[in-house]
Structure 1
Amino acid sequence: MAAKLFSPLRLRGLELKNRIVVSPMCEYSSQDGFANDWHLVHLGSRAVGGAGLIIFEATAVSPEGRITPDDLGIWKDEHIEMLKRITSFIESQGSVAGVQLAHAGRKASTSSPWKGGVKVPEDQGGWQTVAPSALPFSDAYPMPVALDEAGIQKVLDDFRAATKRCLQAGFKVIEIHAAHGYLLHEFFSPLSNQRTDQYGGSFENRIRLLLEVVAAVREIWPTDHPLFVRISATDWTEGGWSIEDSVALANVLKTKDVDLIDASTGGNVPNARIPVGPGYQVEFAARIRQETGIPTGAVGIITDAQQAETILENNQADLIIMAREFLRDPYFPLHAAQELGADVPWPVQYERAKRHK
């Protein structure tokens, strides 16, 4: 039987050549939001390595939406040229270029991990952060201001403008980042949203901003281009966002022209107890898929070909979205194909190495 990991997947007008996805991974290697040669080589090598879909890292829709001053951005037209160069190369290798549109909310204005990961004061290049409510992520993070009506409208306008630039830059998939304690996830969770207006309180109110962002993106994004949403399926904390909430949200998103749920977890509470281990988040993708029928992507310490193949064979997900393993091995798909006995084309420049003998 042919390996399911190397079977194509059609989403709207797009066909992915296999089920292997490079997960968005922050590189913290930009200046003023610009992509550069690091991104070209980092992402381009994964296309050479055979991934079906390569999703660019969390790409800020506004300067204040960055996690750090070193984040990738798409808030001005000048960003497009280099992004287009990278997407063109990815496409030339038979892969698809996607992008994760992001706003960091209250977890913004911090330094990159290897610079300490601490809050950056405004007088040192930081900025005022925003959130659903004036509640910091932790004492080590900046104090956000609660978004008012004009602030919410700006978020929507920023996502809409970013989507236009995504088209010009050659992206074929957009993933809206609504996970990991960033702005849209902050609205979902009662642990971070204490609003009393139409964006707080009830489940319907707390998901309202995401639905408005989805609608704003879909105003621009072509009907034959897939739209993903990444969520944290649970806060891993009592009283927070839950898998039951995630199933309910997925049922709504399915009716709003969203094509796939990228099911991660956590990130909204600093001291959540998370049982990290191989495939520890797969069950959430499986449950959302089973209970709603919407396609899902599985993430979370998926590190070998047989593990990925088993997830697909068990109908727990439709895509395998990998991060750290791709940092260790940019050519994971080519090696996985050999392991699973799938005959996939290699770049012609590398054909001489396809066989070990």
Structure 2
Amino acid sequence: RSRGHVFTGISRKVLLNILQRRCQTLGVRLEFEHEIHDLKELEGADLIIGADGINGLVRRTYAEVFKPQIVVHPTKFVWFGGDLPLDAFTFIFRRNDDGLFQVHAYPFDAHTCTFIVECPEDAWRRAGLETATEAESIAYCESLFQPELRGRRLMSNRSLWINFATLRQESWHHGNVVLLGDAAHTAHFSIGSGTKLAMEDSIALVDALRRHHDVDAAINDYEMERQPVVERFQEAAIESSSYFEHVARYAQFDPRQFAFNLLTRSRRITYINLTQRDPELVRTVDAWFAAAAQGSPDGALRLSPPPMFAPFRLGNLTVPNRVVIAAGPDLEAAAGTGAGLIVTEFVSVTEDGRITPESAVLDRPHQDAMRPAVERVHRAGSRVALQLGHAGRRGSMRPRSQGVDRPLGQGGWRLIAASPIAYTPHAALPREMTHRDMVHIATVFAAAARAAAGCEFDALELNFAHGYLLAGFISPLTNRRGDEYGSSLENRMRFPLEVVDAVRAIWERPLLVRISASDWMPGGLELDEAVEIAALLKLHGCDLLHPVMGQTVWESRPDYRRLFGVPASDRIRNEVGIPTLASGNVTTADDVNTILAGGRADLCQLDGFQAS
């Protein structure tokens, strides 16, 4: 049980009675049992408010103006009542032969509760609920949740199994017609904000009408005020609903971590926020996390640090804490950061694999310069990974100080890639790699691994992301080959896996691979394929995955929101069963602790900090 969470609920009938009494006091004419079938019936009104729900007449009448976007969620749910008194929001998870079912229950009044049952569609079908009557659905759920109901009854009011739909719209008004509540927007029931948002819409509309004598100005003011607020709630609701749609991936979690993960699912509650709400729960999670990290018996530690300061065992390497820093050109500058793991800048395995003329290449002078830097990092107590890659079609570019992805004029070099496709319209056209080229590249990656061992690097990170050479083989946007190295994912992964195998034959220390979890472009890689890629890399000896996003093609559509890379890390870690490094606008210790304690990653890269 988690404490410190304020829950406010009221019976809908009680709320409606309060509002009706207030209307009567103000002299508002109330009219019931008169259904409006055409808005022409309301001609002459100064203002028409559509508060008739997601399927209401008002929204449908002006759909071409409002431009609705409706996303139907994959799980099935049914809305019951129950004669079970509750004093807090309650989540119940039960698995039977049909699948995993979960309950979202909360107090309705002193004697009853709302009892929402949700499950995947395949579980719903296996249970026979697709054809069940209301009475049969109630009987099934009462039997399944008998331990929690303790003989109490579930109650139905046209309780049908449906899919939730999230509604977004470009506009909430047309002329003197304005929408509010579920007619304008919906947010998944798992964050319990539907009625609250509708009432806040109403308050904001009234306030806008008081501020403006002109109805049109008031409506515009209302929409400008409320849309950003609602969008934030909808983003939280999407995170929350996604958690429940995929909750089976967390079934193996320790109950303490499961609870923390559930409470922080929408990103509105974080580690610090939960520490303020329920310090005892956070202390319990910290103690469990630290004991597990150190291999100590559960409950053996009297004092426990936050998760970011717990050690992490990566293969045969112990990383002293969970924070990762991306080093700049001066690796020694990162030595005093205190990060558990420092990852070098992109270092090319060949001269013609550089991104720019200034890019590092793992030649003899660079190795000689790196050895003392690695030694200093070790003396400071950190571990260090060498990031190896080949730019492929993103090579022969000007230094970043002169702009991003601007090709060199004079002084450029020839490029190779999976297919002869230029990175930008003005970039050089690469040559399609032959099998001989592939053998050479795999060989130089292996030689680079041997050199890295000589420099005493603790780990390697192979860069298979961001549109560089190996990423170019993996993405269908950049691999148009007709041989055994193109077309299917298995074929597209063939050469990258040959590189991994060549490196693994030389390198016995931890091996990390950075992959593109999404190309952020229609027709490109998406997270489903990234999960398959991660599983293949795990089979070939990869110790940790670092999923990143975008840059595979220059015209990709980035979405650099806060923690944008964490969902990919979470899914890969918990579906494939491989440690992950999360990055993507992870900027605070609170972010890091929230991600780690929730089991969404094993290491976190602080992206707002770059040692240089």
| Match of residue 91 from structure 1 | 378
2:572 to 288, 292, 306: 288
SS at match of 1:23: strand
Q: Does 1:170 align with 2:170?
A: no
Q: Does 1:128 align with 2:402?
A: no
| Match of residue 107 from structure 1 | 394
For the structure 1 residues 116 and 307, does the alpha-carbon distance in structure 2 shift closer, same or farther, using more than 3 Å as the test?
A: closer
| Match of residue 44 from structure 1 | 332
- Relative to the length of structure 1, the TM-score reads 0.84
- Relative to the length of structure 2, the TM-score reads 0.49
Cα distance in structure 1, aligned partners of 2:395 and 2:524: 21
Equivalent residues in 2 for 1:175-190 (5 A)? Answer: 175-190=461-476
Equivalent residues in 2 for 1:1-357 (5 A)? Answer: 1=283, 2-23=305-326, 27=329, 39=330, 43-74=331-362, 76-117=363-404, 118-121=406-409, 124-222=410-508, 225-326=509-610
Cα distance in structure 2, aligned partners of 1:230 and 1:64: 21
Q: Alpha-carbon deviation of 1:290?
A: 1.3
- Rg larger for: 2
> What is the one-letter code of the residue matched to 1:162?
A
> Which of structure 1's runs of 4+ aligned residues deviate more than 6 A?
none
CA-to-partner distance for each residue in 1:185-223, whole Å, 9 max, x for gaps? 11011110000111101111101111011111111102x
SS at match of 1:258: coil
Assess if the C-alpha contact under 8 Å between 2:326 and 2:343 holds in 1: yes
Assess if the C-alpha contact under 8 Å between 1:285 and 1:316 holds in 2: yes
Q: Alpha-carbon deviation of 1:241?
A: 1.1
Assess if the C-alpha contact under 8 Å between 1:65 and 1:102 holds in 2: yes
For the structure 1 residues 257 and 264, does the alpha-carbon distance in structure 2 shift closer, same or farther, using more than 3 Å as the test?
A: same
Cα distance in structure 2, aligned partners of 1:44 and 1:138: 34
Q: Alpha-carbon deviation of 1:24?
A: 5.5
SS at match of 1:128: coil
| Match of residue 30 from structure 2 | none
Q: Alpha-carbon deviation of 1:238?
A: 1.3
> What is the one-letter code of the residue matched to 1:44?
E
SS at match of 1:161: helix
> What is the one-letter code of the residue matched to 1:46?
A
SS at match of 1:228: strand
For the structure 1 residues 195 and 24, does the alpha-carbon distance in structure 2 shift closer, same or farther, using more than 3 Å as the test?
A: farther
Assess if the C-alpha contact under 8 Å between 1:24 and 1:323 holds in 2: no
SS at match of 1:323: strand
Cα distance in structure 2, aligned partners of 1:247 and 1:130: 27
Assess if the C-alpha contact under 8 Å between 2:327 and 2:344 holds in 1: yes
Assess if the C-alpha contact under 8 Å between 2:360 and 2:366 holds in 1: no
Q: Alpha-carbon deviation of 1:275?
A: 1.7
Q: Alpha-carbon deviation of 1:134?
A: 0.5
> What is the one-letter code of the residue matched to 2:341?
L
CA-to-partner distance for each residue in 1:84-119, whole Å, 9 max, x for gaps? 011011011111111110100000000111123421
| Match of residue 337 from structure 1 | none
Q: Alpha-carbon deviation of 1:323?
A: 3.3
Assess if the C-alpha contact under 8 Å between 1:24 and 1:58 holds in 2: no
Cα distance in structure 2, aligned partners of 1:273 and 1:266: 8
Cα distance in structure 1, aligned partners of 2:606 and 2:441: 29
SS at match of 1:326: strand
Q: Which runs of 5+ in 2 are unaligned?
A: 1-282, 284-304
SS at match of 1:324: strand
> What is the one-letter code of the residue matched to 1:196?
G
SS at match of 2:518: coil
Assess if the C-alpha contact under 8 Å between 2:325 and 2:609 holds in 1: no
Cα distance in structure 1, aligned partners of 2:429 and 2:326: 30
Cα distance in structure 2, aligned partners of 1:69 and 1:324: 26
Aligned residues: 308
Cα distance in structure 2, aligned partners of 1:134 and 1:282: 33
Q: Alpha-carbon deviation of 1:46?
A: 2.5
> What is the one-letter code of the residue matched to 1:97?
V
CA-to-partner distance for each residue in 1:280-300, whole Å, 9 max, x for gaps? 111010011111110001001
For the structure 1 residues 294 and 172, does the alpha-carbon distance in structure 2 shift closer, same or farther, using more than 3 Å as the test?
A: same
Cα distance in structure 1, aligned partners of 2:411 and 2:389: 20
CA-to-partner distance for each residue in 1:166-199, whole Å, 9 max, x for gaps? 0111111000000001011110111100001111
Cα distance in structure 2, aligned partners of 1:125 and 1:326: 30
Assess if the C-alpha contact under 8 Å between 1:107 and 1:137 holds in 2: yes
Q: Which runs of 5+ in 1 are unaligned?
A: 28-38, 331-357
